[in-house]
């Protein structure tokens, strides 16, 4: 199963995706013997049959296939990078029929994904047999509300206070440990579990937010939602009910959608965002800049916040960061004229934080301020910022140059 293929398709278009698959086919063939079989099962899933091989050889070939897939692809002078997850199952040890062997390979593949390994060999005790298939374990964890949320604070660059937190889901798993979202969200998506997963996350995040607010901390909570949630016609009502249940005003919640979600299915997404905005909450465009959405295009969506992708922030202040700096400056200025609040993600060093402050960025999030942590361990005291008054001055100047009066965006200052 390829990772990130969907992003290539969404960002570069389907002809580019097709071209990539053609190049990939040739690479896979080159990594195999002529007696081996390689087929495309559909989408971004492939199967390889090795005749007369044992587990050792299968693992060796898997490693070789991964290496071939991870070599950058050049498509129309654009470089795309992929990775893949491989599941290995053996005939006749694991199963003797096609459906059975495919099911075993699939389970091993998901275990590889979830444990962050490039490949895994099917093991009855881990993937099936006495235990449950992973997807059933995940379904159970969602139903029993066993998913955990970590929260990462966002620093207001004007007031120097923590005014918001982003909720980030984790799956505590008995054998695999604390599983990261990027490892199990694809499984949830594929198994149709995104609806219930988001419902559980939303409920837990709002409960926590209500508790903070009850204790006098006026903080906003951001929750990530997937395309599947957004195109579900019942979703806005579900959000409204969740807010009600916790006695929270809509302004207490921000919903983050990724840039690719925002452009995937414009009509449906647009209607959903509008419905959410009417509830009074801010919809945020996550990972902005990672894809290829133009700001002009974005201006037609009723969103209230833009999160600058981490890739823009890295090297912002380094010698060769000039290009990023220009992009960040222009993006902030444009976002502000469109009435959008700007959050910088992945801020890891003080120099970047000060740069962002002087560029007029509104909020910052990143390891410098805090790693995501369980609510109980979160510190709301912002780290001391040296040179704040100078930055504030710079910021005021930037504002006066670029900013028209801005609409109320629902963030409490």
SS (H, E, C) 94-162: CCCCHHHHHHHHHHHHHHHHHHCCCEEECCHHHHCCCCCCHHHHHHHHHHCCCCEEEEEEEEECCCCCE
Binding status of residue 259 toward ligand C2E by CB under 6 A? no
Give the shortest CB-31-to-ligand C2E separation in angstroms: 30
Give the shortest CB-182-to-Ca ion separation in angstroms: 11
Which of these segments, 3-11, 181-189, 264-272, 293-301, binds ligand C2E (CB under 6 A)? 181-189
Which of these segments, 48-56, 140-148, 205-213, 344-352, binds Ca ion (CB under 5 A)? 344-352
Which of these segments, 6-14, 112-120, 246-254, 345-353, binds ligand C2E (CB under 6 A)? 345-353
Pairing of strands 177-179, 162-173: antiparallel
Handedness of CA 342, 347, 350, 351 (dihedral sign): negative
- DSSP at 36: S
Binding status of residue 153 toward ligand C2E by CB under 6 A? no
Q: Are 164 and 217 in contact (CB under 8 A)?
A: no
Question: Half-sphere exposure (CA, 13 Å, Cβ side) for 231?
Answer: 12
Residue nearest to ligand C2E (CB): 366
Comparison of 118 and 366: residue with beta carbon closer to ligand C2E: 366
SS (H, E, C) 266-324: HHHHHHHHHHHHHHCCEEEEEEECCCCCCHHHHCCCCCCEEEECHHHHCCCCCCCCHHH
- The torsion angles phi and psi of 148, rounded to 5 degrees, stand at -110, 150
Sites for ligand C2E among residues 189-228 (CB under 6 A)? 201, 224-226
Q: Which of 160, 348, 402, 409 binds ligand C2E (CB under 6 A)?
A: 348
Question: Which value, to the nearest 10 degrees, does the dihedral of the CA atoms of residues 343, 345, 348, 349 take?
Answer: -30
Give the shortest CB-27-to-Ca ion separation in angstroms: 31
Q: Which of 10, 232, 286, 305 binds ligand C2E (CB under 6 A)?
A: 286
The residues near 327 (Cβ < 8 Å, ≥ 6 apart) are 289, 312
Binding status of residue 224 toward Ca ion by CB under 5 A? yes
Q: Which of 180, 191, 327, 351 binds ligand C2E (CB under 6 A)?
A: 180
Binding mask 281-320 for Ca ion (x = CB under 5 A): -----xx---------------------------------
Residues that bind ligand C2E (CB under 6 A): 152, 168-169, 180-182, 185, 201, 224-226, 286-287, 310, 346-348, 366-367, 372
**What are the residues binding Ca ion (CB under 5 A)?**
224, 256, 286-287, 345
């Amino acid at each position: 199963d390829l990772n990130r293929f969907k992003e290539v398709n969404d960002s570069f278009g389907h002809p580019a995706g097709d071209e990539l698959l053609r190049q990939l086919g040739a690479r896979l063939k080159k990594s195999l013997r002529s007696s081996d079989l390689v087929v495309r099962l559909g989408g971004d899933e492939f199967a390889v049959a090795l005749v007369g091989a044992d587990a050792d050889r299968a693992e060796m070939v898997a490693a070789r296939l991964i290496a071939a897939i991870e070599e950058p692809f050049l498509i129309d002078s654009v470089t795309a990078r992929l990775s893949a997850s491989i599941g290995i199952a053996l005939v006749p040890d694991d199963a003797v029929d096609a459906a059975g062997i495919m099911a075993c390979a699939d389970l091993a593949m998901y275990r590889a994904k979830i444990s962050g390994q490039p490949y895994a060999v099917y093991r009855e005790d881990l993937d099936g047999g006495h235990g449950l298939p992973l997807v059933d374990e995940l379904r159970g964890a969602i139903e029993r509300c066993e998913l955990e949320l970590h929260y990462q604070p966002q620093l207001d660059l004007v007031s120097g206070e923590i005014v918001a937190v982003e909720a980030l889901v984790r799956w505590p798993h008995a054998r695999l440990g604390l599983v990261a979202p990027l490892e199990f969200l694809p499984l949830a998506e594929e198994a149709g579990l995104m609806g219930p997963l988001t419902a559980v996350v939303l409920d837990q995040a709002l409960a926590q937010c209500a508790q903070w607010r009850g204790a006098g901390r006026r903080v906003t909570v951001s929750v990530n939602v997937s395309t599947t949630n957004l195109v579900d016609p019942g979703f806005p009502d579900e959000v409204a009910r969740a807010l009600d249940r916790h006695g929270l005003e809509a302004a207490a919640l921000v919903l983050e959608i990724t840039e690719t979600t925002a452009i995937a299915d414009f009509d449906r997404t647009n209607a959903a965002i509008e419905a959410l905005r009417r509830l009074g909450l801010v919809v945020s465009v996550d990972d902005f800049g990672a894809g290829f959405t133009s700001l002009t295009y974005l201006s037609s969506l009723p969103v209230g916040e833009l999160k600058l992708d981490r890739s823009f922030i890295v090297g912002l202040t380094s010698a060769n960061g000039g290009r990023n700096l220009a992009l960040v400056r222009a993006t902030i200025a444009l976002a502000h004229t469109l009435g959008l609040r700007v959050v910088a993600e992945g801020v890891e060093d003080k120099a970047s934080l000060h740069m962002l402050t002087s560029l007029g960025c509104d909020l910052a999030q990143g390891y410098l301020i805090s790693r995501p942590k369980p609510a109980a361990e979160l510190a709301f005291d912002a780290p001391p910022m040296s040179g704040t008054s100078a930055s504030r001055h710079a910021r005021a100047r930037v504002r006066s140059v670029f900013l028209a009066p801005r609409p109320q965006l629902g963030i409490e200052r």
